[in-house]
Amino acid sequence: MNTGLKMTLIGIIGGSGLDDPDILENRTERFVETPFGKTALITGKIKNVECVLLARHGRQHTIMPSNVNYRANIWALKQEGCTHVVVTTACGSLRDDIQPGDIVLLDQFIDRTTKRDQTFCDGSSCSPPGVCHIPMADPFCSRTREVLLDVVKGLGIRYHPRGTMLTIEGPRFSSRAESLMFRQWGADVINMTTVPEVVLAKEAGLCYASIAMATDYDCWKEHEEAVCVDNVLKTMKENANKASSILLTAIPQIFQMDWEHTISMHRVRTLTAIKTACPRKSPKIFYKMIHINIKTPPLIHLKSDSASFPTTANQCSITVCSEESPASPAPIHQLTDTCTNQHRSEHTVPTQRETALSQTPAADGEAA
């Protein structure tokens, strides 16, 4: 049961043809201001579970992939209190066995975008201070993906448990030479929106998972019609009920689970990834964004059964204790309420401890 954190709130980002607000009951729509611009959110319930829906391309599908305000979207969902983001996306298949209408649960990406902001910490006037070198070995939340995997199995939908998404800049589709090259690179599917969305969600400490629906074979396959917008939308319309069924079934299951450890690990990785030029000026806005309440400079302690620093998430537990009472460490989830004006200094954590923590594999809560 969900007993660790005060609330698990699930955000949904709908892609082309997969952003139907009718899946929400008692829905209300409003605009939300963020440091990166304004975006529209629809709040409502799925089987009595509070959710937040966001249409990636706008309600009228008027925003092309390069112009989507990814930072405002992710910031708005985090600001709303979301702990999870489950997204849907249309994609082209780069594999014979991934047929139009199939569901692919992504676990990796290849980035071929060229002009998109991929971090909140970019040095602009509205940016949190510092630079965030977020680890990206495992971009998607494996635990959330496992929930989706169980759901698609139960629904009897044709699926692929893993997949590497190649994201192009768009809005044009690939040339045949590009499509063949992407196949050689090992990509399984191709779209225009996964990056930087997944990167920003990772930086924000969110549990992010993607339901990708194949609509075509791009243009690499002989004797198949090359991808075009009309065929993409036709396939999406015919198969949109699959994405809706997955969301309607998965979201109540996600809500019922205990995500305390998973979410804490996501947030710790974000905190340890941020580096500032002035150690005494920690990223105030970013701390507020990820709901860290630090009244005194904390120390992060790694506990391990062995004398050496742990190399896996299963070997260590993370606690944060105040310098006022170092003998009474508190679980990190107790520090996730409201931001105050006092923040952690980088000097309070020995370099070797930060290094050990940053090298902990992104297990995404597999030990939870």
Would you list which residues are annotated within the binding site for phosphate?
Answer: 16, 56-57, 89-90, 193
| Mean of pLDDT values over 244-273 | 93
The angle formed by the CA atoms of residues 33, 35 and 37, to the nearest 5 degrees, is 55
pLDDT digits (tens, 9 = 90+) for 266-301: 988 888 898 876 555 555 555 555 554 333 333 333
Would you list which residues are annotated within the binding site for substrate?
Answer: 192, 216-218
User: Could you give the 3-state DSSP secondary structure of residue 93?
Assistant: strand
| Mean of pLDDT values over 209-223 | 95
pLDDT digits (tens, 9 = 90+) for 47-97: 999 999 999 998 888 999 999 999 999 999 999 999 999 999 999 999 999
Is pLDDT above 70 for 303?
Answer: no
| Mean of pLDDT values over 313-336 | 35
Higher pLDDT, 44 or 363: 44
Min mean pLDDT across 126-130, 219-223, 275-279 is at 275-279
First-to-last alpha carbon distance for the chain, in angstroms, is 12
Alpha-carbon gap, residue 304 to 320, rounded angstroms:
15
Rg, the chain, Cα only: 21
Tell me whether strands 330-331 and 159-160 are parallel, antiparallel or unpaired: unpaired
Q: pLDDT grade, residue 45 (50/70/90)?
A: very high
pLDDT digits (tens, 9 = 90+) for 174-210: 999 999 999 999 999 999 999 999 999 999 999 999 9
Domains of the chain: 10-256 (3.40.50.1580), 260-358 (no CATH)
pTM given for the model: 0.77
Q: pLDDT grade, residue 348 (50/70/90)?
A: very low
Q: Which residues are catalytic?
A: 216, 218
Alpha-carbon gap, residue 16 to 30, rounded angstroms:
21
| Mean of pLDDT values over 33-57 | 95
Beta bridge partners of 54: 13
Beta bridge partners of 167: 111, 191
